[in-house]
Amino acid sequence: MRTVIAGGHGQIALKLERLLAERGDRPAGIIRRPEQAQDLVDAGAEPLLLDLEAATAPQLAALLADADAVVFAAGAGPGSGAARKNTVDRDAAVLLADAAELAGVRRYLMVSSMGADAAALHPADAVFETYLRAKGAADDAVRSRTALDWTVLRPGRLTDGPGTGLVRLAPSVNRGAVDRADVAAVLAELLREPRTAGRTLELVAGNATVAEAVAAATRHDN
């Protein structure tokens, strides 16, 4: 299985690439800078050089020609301003959907955020409000695509522990934190479970194994 990951040098993406490579899949990651390529190679992934903020859908579709699935794990990052929340977190996600449709790739996993909403209000932090709105708008755009078998994953507050392998995954969960390693593990399992298509799922640390949580999620109604 070949999976192309947008934002291929991000922390979650690198962990996901390593997991996919270890199980015999063929991960590839889209990166903006050539100097990032070796980190992907070390993780077992093929680096694909393309600036998602400047690319066209046909250019991106050319990289997806033999892909079985795509994952949107790109983000402008905590140090960026409001403008890049829109150009990366929103527009690049929509671009990936456009390109996937052009390339005939149906499976699309979106790494979103708990609280994402195109009408989100966060008066205390205008940039964070823009981020939540951008993520929400991207989720809405992807969920409207009948040509895609999409799953939207909305993790809680991200932490950098080694991962516990124990999570809670459902259409709605109480706010909480989750290790990036566990987010990557859930993404890897979602790629193997087509019955999660058409679902928006929130993710925090919990007491179910990743496999158990994803299996249970197939039985939830959104």
Contact 52, 6 (CB under 8 A): yes
115: alpha, beta or left? (left if phi > 0; alpha if psi -120 to 50): left
Contact 65, 103 (CB under 8 A): yes
Angle of helix 11-22 relative to helix 180-191, nearest 10 degrees, comes to: 50
- Tens of each residue's pLDDT in the chain, 222 residues: 999 999 999 999 999 999 999 999 999 999 999 999 999 999 999 999 999 999 999 999 999 999 999 999 998 777 777 788 889 999 999 999 999 999 999 999 999 999 999 888 877 788 889 989 999 999 999 999 999 999 999 999 999 999 999 999 999 999 999 999 999 999 999 999 999 999 999 999 999 999 999 999 998 654
Q: Which two tokens stand for residue 24?
A: 């015999």
Kindly report whether the global pTM for this prediction surpasses the value 0.85: yes
Amino acid at 37: A
Helix (H) or strand (E) holding 27: strand 26-31
Contact 30, 88 (CB under 8 A): no
- Provide the 8-state DSSP code for 198: T
Tokens 């800078």 belong to residue? 33
Helices (H), the chain: 11-22, 37-43, 57-63, 82-84, 91-103, 126-143, 180-191, 210-217
Domains and their CATH numbers in the chain: 2-155+183-202 (3.40.50.720)
